[in-house]
Structure 1
Amino acid sequence: MSLVVYLAAFVFGMTSVLLFRRPRTAAPPDPLTLSTCAAIVLGALVFVCAAPATLAAVNSLTGVPNFGAPLTYGMLSAYSCAVLVLLINWRGGSRERVRRMVLRSVAAYGLLVAAIVVLFALAEADTERLTDLDTYYATTPFMREMILLYLVGHSAAMLVMCVVCVKWGREVGGLLRTGLRLILLGALLDVVGFQLTKYTAVVARWSGHDLDFLSTTVAPPMAALAALLWSAGFALPRLLPSVRAQWRGLGDYRRLGPLWSLVGPVPTAPKPQAAWWQLPRARLQWREVSIHDALLALAPYFDHRVRERVRDSALRAGRSPHQARLAAEAAMLADAARRAAAHEEPPESAGTYRLHATEVSGTGGLVELAQALPRPPAAGGGGAPPPPTGTVTEPEEPHVA
C-alpha cells in the first residue's frame, strides 16, 4: 500500500514542477499558479503522510503512538483549504473580494486543524494503528470527534468544488470545460469512493458492525485516483497549450532541416549552440536565428538571372505566382550556397533582394523555403547529375507547409 501511495505523491509532485517551471527572466508566478502548485504539493504531502511506512516512522521518531494521525488529518485539512483557495483564484473577481474569501477559508480551516490537534491531545489512543485508525477508534471519546471533524472538513471542500465546476462548466468551453469535467469527476469520485466509504465504515462501528474493509481497502485507492483526476483537470488547460506549441516547434525544427543543411556551413557571427536538453521551441528559435544570419551572409551571391529563369519556367508550367516565387528563390539560394562554398566571386547580377521568408513573421516562410529546395538525387545511382553552372532545370513542385 505504501508503494502505491508514494507513486501517487510522486505524480503530484511532478505535476507541480511542470506547472511552476518558467524562465528565470519571467515575471513572478501569478496567484493562480501559486495556489495550483500549493494544492498539488499539499495533496502529495497528504499521500506521503498517510502511507503506513511514513506513519510508523513518525510515531517512532516522536515516541507518541498514532502521532501520524493528527499530522495526516491536519495536512488533509490544509489540502482541502488549498483546494478552496485555488477555486477562488481560478474563479477570479475583484482583488478585495478574492482576498476576503481566501482569508475566510484559511481562518476556517486553521481553526479546524487546531481542533484536530486539541482533540487528539485529549483522547486516549495508546494502541498504534497504521491502516485502520478511523474504524478502530471510531467509538473512542475525542478520537471519534476528531475523525468526524476531518471528514466533514474535507467533504465541504469537495462539495464546493463540485458545485463550482457544474456552475462554471455551463459558462466556458474548450480546454477549460474539459478541465472542469475532469475536476468534477475527481471530486465526485472522492466524495463517493473515499468519503462515503469512510463514513459508512465509521457509522457501522457505531452500530456494532464491521465494515472496516471499506475504510482500509476501498477508500485509499479511490482517494488517489480522485486526486490524480482533479489535478489533471487543473493542469490540462495550463499545460496542453504549451505542449501543443512545443510539438509544433518540433515539427518546424525538423522541416527546416533541408534549409539548415544548405546554409549551415555559411560563416556567420558566432552564437551559443542550443543545448541538447532544451525544449523544441528554444532549439527552433536558435535554428531560425542562425538561418536568417546565413541568408544575410549569402545575399551578395544571389544571382537574379537564376531566380528569373526558374520563376518564368514555373509560371509557364502553370504554378501559382507564390509557388513560382518560392521555387525561384530556392533555386537562387542553392546556387548562392554553392558559390559561397566554392569561394567564387559574387555574380554580376547580384543586388539587393528580400526573400519571401524574410518578409513574413514566424517560421512559416522559412519552412516554405525549406520545402521548396531542390531534392538531392536518390542514393544508389540512377539520378541525373546536377546541371552545369548557368543552366536551370524545370523546378519541382514546391511543397508548401
Structure 2
Amino acid sequence: MSLVVYLAAALLALSAVLLFRRPRAALRNPLTASTCAAVSISALCFTCSAPMTLAAVNRLTGVPNFGAPMTYSVISAYSCSLIILLIQWRGGPPEQLRRTTRHAVVVFGLLIIAIIVLFSLADAPVERLNDLDTYYANTPYMREMIVLYLVGHGACIVVMSAVCLTWLREVRGPLRTGLQLILVGLLLDLAGFEIAKVTAIVARWSGHDLDFLSTNVAPPVVSLGALFCSAGFTLPRLLPPAITHWRSLNDYRRLTPLWTEVQWAATAPKPSPSWWELPHTRLQWLEVSIHDALLALAPLFDDRVRRISLATALDEGKTPSQARVIAEAAMLADAARQGAGPVDRPLKEPTGYRLHATGAVVTTGLVELAQALGQSPVVAAARRGAAAASHD
C-alpha cells in the first residue's frame, strides 16, 4: 500500500513544483500561493499516512502510534488549506478574504490541538500501521480523536461541495472543468474515505468486523480523489499557459517556410529564453526577425508580380482573400530571389506596397503568408522568376 500512497504523493508534489516554478511571483499572488500550499500539504498527507512512514516516525520518536496524530493533524491542515484555497479562488473584498481565512485557520488549528491532546490522554501501546482507526475504535480518547478528525474532514468536504456546486452555475471554460474535477474528487473522498471509515468504525462499535473498508478500500480511493481535486485546482492555473505554449509551437512550425525564404535578410539578434518561456519567446523572436527581413526586402517588391499572381490565383478559383495572400507571397518570393542572387533583369522602381501581414497584430497573417509560400504553385512560379519574365 505504501507504493500506491507514495506514487500519489509524488504526482501531487510534481503539480506543486509546476505551480511554484516562479517562487517570487507565486508568493506575491495569494491564489497561486494557496494552490501550492494545498497541493503540497496533500502530498505531505499521503507521505505521512504510508505505513513505511508511520513505522519510521514511531521508531524515531519511541512512541507507539505517534504517526497517527501527526497524520490526522496534517489531514486537518489539508482540509483547512482546501477551504482557504476555495476562499481565495472565489474572490471578494480583501478584508473579507482575510477575515474568512483567519476563521478557517482558527477552527482547524483548534481541531489539531484537540487531536494532539486526545492522543496524549489515550492509552495506545500496540503499534498499528494499517488498521489503527478500527483497532482503537473503542479505546477512550483514541475513539474521540478518530471521530474528531473524520468530522473535521467531512465538514470540509460538505462545505467545498456546496460552494463548488453553487459556483459551477456561474462559470465556464477551464474554471468550470476544474470545479467538475474537484467535485469528482470530493465524491470519491466522501464515498471512499469518509463513508468507508465511518462504516468500519461503527461496525466495530456494534461488534462487527468491516475493517477491510478502512484498510483496503479507503487508501486507494482517497488517493484517486486527491489527484482529481489537485487536478481541478491546478488545471485552471496551468492550462492557459500550456495552451499558449502549444499554439506558439504550432505557429513556430507553420512559419518555417516563410523564415526559410527570408532568413538571410534578417538582422535581429537572437535572445536566450528560459526553458519555461521557450516556445512563446522563440515565436516572438521569430516574428521580430521575419518583420525585420520583410522590411529589408520591401524595396525589392515588384507590384507587377503581385498583380499577375493575383489574377492567376483568381482564375484558379481562389477567393479574393486567398488570392491576395498568394499574390503577396509571390511578390515576396520574387523579392527574395532578387535579393539573394544576381538579378537577371533591370530593377524597377520600388512599389511601396505594404504586406497585410506586417500590419497585423496577431501571427495569423504571417502564418497565411508562410503557408502560401510553401504550397502555392503560383508562388513557386514567381520564385523561379516566371511571373516577372512574363511581363518583360
When normalised by structure 2's length, the TM-score is: 0.90
Q: Which residue of 2 aligns with 1:213?
A: 212
Between 99-108 and 29-38, the greater mean CA deviation after superposition: 29-38
Instruction: Provide the C-alpha distance between the structure 2 equivalents of 1:241 and 1:278, rounded to a whole number of angstroms.
Output: 13
Counterpart residue type for residue 118 of structure 2: L
State the identity %.
62
Partner deviation per Cα, 1:63-85 (whole Å, 9 max, x = no partner): 22211111111100000001111
Instruction: Provide the C-alpha distance between the structure 1 equivalents of 2:272 and 2:88, rounded to a whole number of angstroms.
Output: 40
- How far 1:358 sits from its partner (Å)? 0.5
Cα distance change, pair 175–389 in 1 and its aligned pair in 2 (3 A): closer
Counterpart residue type for residue 365 of structure 1: G
Between 225-234 and 272-281, the greater mean CA deviation after superposition: 272-281
Residue 3 (str. 1) matches residue 3 (str. 2): yes
2:389 pairs with one of 385, 388, 391: 391
SS across alignment from 2:388? coil
Q: Contact conserved, 1:273 with 1:286, CA < 8 A, in 2?
A: no
Give the helix-richer structure, 1 or 2.
Answer: 2
Instruction: Provide the C-alpha distance between the structure 1 equivalents of 2:323 and 2:256, rounded to a whole number of angstroms.
Output: 22
Superposed counterparts of 1:311-326, under 5 Å: 311-317=310-316, 319-326=318-325
Counterpart residue type for residue 264 of structure 1: Q
Partner deviation per Cα, 1:95-150 (whole Å, 9 max, x = no partner): 22111111001001011111111111222222211111111111222211111111
Partner deviation per Cα, 1:178-232 (whole Å, 9 max, x = no partner): 3222212211221111011111111222222221111110110111111111222
Superposed counterparts of 1:88-107, under 5 Å: 88-107=87-106
Q: Which residue of 2 aligns with 1:157?
A: 156
Q: Contact conserved, 2:20 with 2:26, CA < 8 A, in 1?
A: no
- How far 1:276 sits from its partner (Å)? 7.5
Cα distance change, pair 275–343 in 1 and its aligned pair in 2 (3 A): farther
SS across alignment from 1:171? coil
Counterpart residue type for residue 202 of structure 1: I
Q: Which residue of 2 aligns with 1:20?
A: 20
Between 310-319 and 70-79, the greater mean CA deviation after superposition: 310-319
Runs of 4+ in 1 over 6 A off after TM superposition: none
Cα distance change, pair 276–44 in 1 and its aligned pair in 2 (3 A): closer
Cα distance change, pair 338–70 in 1 and its aligned pair in 2 (3 A): same
Counterpart residue type for residue 214 of structure 1: L
Cα distance change, pair 293–204 in 1 and its aligned pair in 2 (3 A): same
- How far 1:353 sits from its partner (Å)? 3.0
- How far 1:311 sits from its partner (Å)? 2.6
- How far 1:389 sits from its partner (Å)? 8.0
Instruction: Provide the C-alpha distance between the structure 2 equivalents of 1:361 and 1:136, rounded to a whole number of angstroms.
Output: 67
SS across alignment from 1:125? coil
- How far 1:322 sits from its partner (Å)? 2.9
- How far 1:14 sits from its partner (Å)? 1.7
Structure 2, unaligned stretches of length 5 or more? Answer: none
Q: Contact conserved, 2:168 with 2:179, CA < 8 A, in 1?
A: yes
Instruction: Provide the C-alpha distance between the structure 2 equivalents of 1:341 and 1:273, rounded to a whole number of angstroms.
Output: 28
SS across alignment from 1:265? helix
Q: Which residue of 2 aligns with 1:186?
A: 185
Instruction: Provide the C-alpha distance between the structure 2 equivalents of 1:392 and 1:239, rounded to a whole number of angstroms.
Output: 54
Instruction: Provide the C-alpha distance between the structure 1 equivalents of 2:58 and 2:27, rounded to a whole number of angstroms.
Output: 39
Q: Which residue of 1 aligns with 2:222?
A: 223
Q: Contact conserved, 1:302 with 1:347, CA < 8 A, in 2?
A: no
Q: Contact conserved, 1:300 with 1:346, CA < 8 A, in 2?
A: no
Instruction: Provide the C-alpha distance between the structure 2 equivalents of 1:200 and 1:346, rounded to a whole number of angstroms.
Output: 92
Counterpart residue type for residue 54 of structure 1: T
Q: Contact conserved, 1:330 with 1:369, CA < 8 A, in 2?
A: yes
Partner deviation per Cα, 1:236-292 (whole Å, 9 max, x = no partner): 333333333222222211211111111122241322266787543232222212211
Instruction: Provide the C-alpha distance between the structure 1 equivalents of 2:94 and 2:106, rounded to a whole number of angstroms.
Output: 18
Instruction: Provide the C-alpha distance between the structure 2 equivalents of 1:277 and 1:168, rounded to a whole number of angstroms.
Output: 32
Q: Contact conserved, 1:331 with 1:374, CA < 8 A, in 2?
A: no
Counterpart residue type for residue 7 of structure 1: L
Q: Which residue of 2 aligns with 1:80?
A: 79
SS across alignment from 1:349? coil
Partner deviation per Cα, 1:293-349 (whole Å, 9 max, x = no partner): 111222232223322332343345554443332222111211221222216599332
Instruction: Provide the C-alpha distance between the structure 2 equivalents of 1:79 and 1:70, rounded to a whole number of angstroms.
Output: 14
Superposition RMSD in Å = 2.6
Cα distance change, pair 19–255 in 1 and its aligned pair in 2 (3 A): same
Residue 40 (str. 1) matches residue 66 (str. 2): no
Q: Which residue of 2 aligns with 1:396?
A: none
Instruction: Provide the C-alpha distance between the structure 1 equivalents of 2:254 and 2:66, rounded to a whole number of angstroms.
Output: 59
SS across alignment from 1:160? helix
Partner deviation per Cα, 1:344-401 (whole Å, 9 max, x = no partner): 5993322533211101111011011111115499xxxxx9x945583259xxxxxxxx
Instruction: Provide the C-alpha distance between the structure 2 equivalents of 1:343 and 1:277, rounded to a whole number of angstroms.
Output: 43
Partner deviation per Cα, 1:148-185 (whole Å, 9 max, x = no partner): 11111111101111111222223333433332222122
SS across alignment from 1:141? coil
Between 302-311 and 105-114, the greater mean CA deviation after superposition: 302-311
Q: Contact conserved, 1:42 with 1:78, CA < 8 A, in 2?
A: yes
Q: Which residue of 2 aligns with 1:294?
A: 293
Q: Contact conserved, 1:87 with 1:161, CA < 8 A, in 2?
A: yes
How many residues matched?
386
Q: Which residue of 2 aligns with 1:399?
A: none
Cα distance change, pair 177–353 in 1 and its aligned pair in 2 (3 A): same
Cα distance change, pair 44–277 in 1 and its aligned pair in 2 (3 A): closer
Q: Which residue of 1 aligns with 2:353?
A: 353
Between 303-312 and 281-290, the greater mean CA deviation after superposition: 303-312
Counterpart residue type for residue 18 of structure 2: L
Instruction: Provide the C-alpha distance between the structure 1 equivalents of 2:26 and 2:47, rounded to a whole number of angstroms.
Output: 32
Counterpart residue type for residue 341 of structure 1: A
Q: Which residue of 1 aligns with 2:302?
A: 303
Between 243-252 and 119-128, the greater mean CA deviation after superposition: 243-252
